[in-house]
Chain A
Amino acid sequence: AQRVTQPEKLLSVFKGAPVELKCNYSYSGSPELFWYVQYSRQRLQLLLRHISRESIKGFTADLNKGETSFHLKKPFAQEEDSAMYYCALRWGKLTFGTGTQLKVEL
């Protein structure tokens, strides 16, 4: 069965510091990996997907098949990055991790 693990419930960093939100998955095939973000009082929305290899709002994520990881990174955190971040895997249906609350402090 497919599974997504986000080990950190809460990650607190200072503004300007690097950010890395961890995500590991278990699936034997080649799934699609995504990061979703939910800002305070807003709906869940797609941030980026591995297949597009793009940088969104300064965030990037590289799929590491050997380590079965899809960590989300940003070199310099900004206050507006504070939100809930969900890693998700799709093989047929979308399976979410439990999320990491990112708090960027001044």
Chain B
Amino acid sequence: DAMVIQNPRYQVTQFGKPVTLSCSQTLNHNVMYWYQQKSSQAPKLLFHYYDKDFNNEADTPDNFQSRRPNTSFCFLDIRSPGLGDAAMYLCATLRPGTLSSYNEQFFGPGTRLTVL
């Protein structure tokens, strides 16, 4: 019954070699997020989509790009990974609020990226 799925769970890449992380959701939520979480640090928002509308955080490096081909899938592309990009990458969706429930973010298990 996984709702937000991230593949792979562990990804190893080489310095400078492009890498793509995947996220899919079975919830049909309009909003999807990508967070970066480095060791012992707080998850940090990189960008989010509202449907196909892309919203980049001001301090997200240009090295990070994203694609959302449809509602279910969202990809994080790191064009030239550096050693400092090694982190856990979290995908999340947002369930909108209704008259009977508040909105809520649902997180995937994360992909741990290692850069050699």
Contact = CB atoms under 8 A, between A and B. Distances in A.
Q: Do these two chains really belong together in a complex?
A: yes
Interface of A: 4, 9, 42-46, 49, 51-52, 86, 93-99
8 contacts: A43-B109, A44-B90, A44-B107, A49-B102, A52-B102, A93-B48, A94-B45, A98-B42
Interface string B33-46: 00000001111110
Contact of A4 (B42, B45, B106, B109): B42
Nearest to B91: A43
B110 interface: yes
Contacts of B43: 44, 86, 96
Contacts of A46: 104-105
B102 A96 contact: no
Contacts of B41: 98
B81 interface: no
Given A46-B104, A49-B102, A51-B102, A96 B42 contact: yes
Contact of B42 (A51, A52, A86): A86
Nearest to B108: A43
Given A44-B107, A46-B104, A98 B45 contact: no
Nearest to B45: A93
Nearest to B4: A43
Contacts of A99: 42
Interface in B37-86: 40-45, 48, 57
Contacts of A94: 45, 105
A22 to B, nearest CB: 15
A42 B4 CA distance: 12
Contacts of A44: 43, 90, 107
Contacts of B106: 45
Contacts of A9: 40
A73 B110 CA distance: 28
A95 B57 CA distance: 12
A74 B92 CA distance: 28
